[in-house]
Structure 1
Amino acid sequence: MPTVSTVLVDHLDDLLDAEFNRFKWHLTDGVADGFSPISKGKLEKAKQQEVVNLMISAYGPSDAGKITGRILRKMQQNNLADQLKKNLAEVKDQEDQADQADGAVSSPAKASRAPRVHQNIKADSSGRVSANVISDGQFHGPTNLTFN
């Protein structure tokens, strides 16, 4: 059964090298409101699988799919974005069917689609606190804490 990760990798594989580099640039340039960019250093030499892992780690599977679609549309890759949306919906349907067959009440797949809380936390000059995304009581993405 395909997963969000495999679907995203498959779609990024369809991009030419120059297009893939542009996709990575979009990830460093403020992807969307409420989402922090991924650092250039992490993306510079990253292949498709590594980029997908970074996005899922930073944004969660559901949001990584949405962000990928947004970026593809910004790049005028509308057919690829439409196909991605369709394939991600199929993955969601398959996960839902598997959950129903197992009689599962709660699963990691459903948790990844749960509503998320996004917060930017900052502190004044007495100490630096930065949390990019807080979701389900867990930190996702780079987190810096500096206390003097």
Structure 2
Amino acid sequence: MFLTKQLLSEMGNAIYLEKSFSFPLDDIIICGYIDRVDRLDNDKVEIIDYKTGNIRNLPQDDLQLNLYALVCRDYLDLIPAKLSLYFLKTNQKTSVDVSNVYIDLVKNLVLNTADKILSQNFTITQESLQNCNDCCYQKICPKLPN
């Protein structure tokens, strides 16, 4: 994990660092690591995702961060109140309040995407082939030549 002196000084509120999860969502399992979860007032939490690259999107547009909010809400029984991206290159943090409506939309998006993968209901384009090397499912993907 990449931590600056400022981050180390703020660790007093952290309840999880690099929290691993394996979360059942209908017929699929969602696995991963949440960089950091901080306790806020009133039993609510802030979910922080550290980024080593440049600022590319806002927390509300970050699918991964919103998926972490879903995990915190539905699996860890926490109340997510704030989503934050912390950019280590620039030492900047950008935050947004959590929307349960948006978390539910993300949940539906994940379920629909998983359904398309499992039913092979997706099209491979030249552009999407470039992402295949980073895909966890490339060894079992029936759409790729072996």
TM-score by length of 1: 0.31
Q: What TM-score do you get using the length of structure 2 for normalisation?
A: 0.32
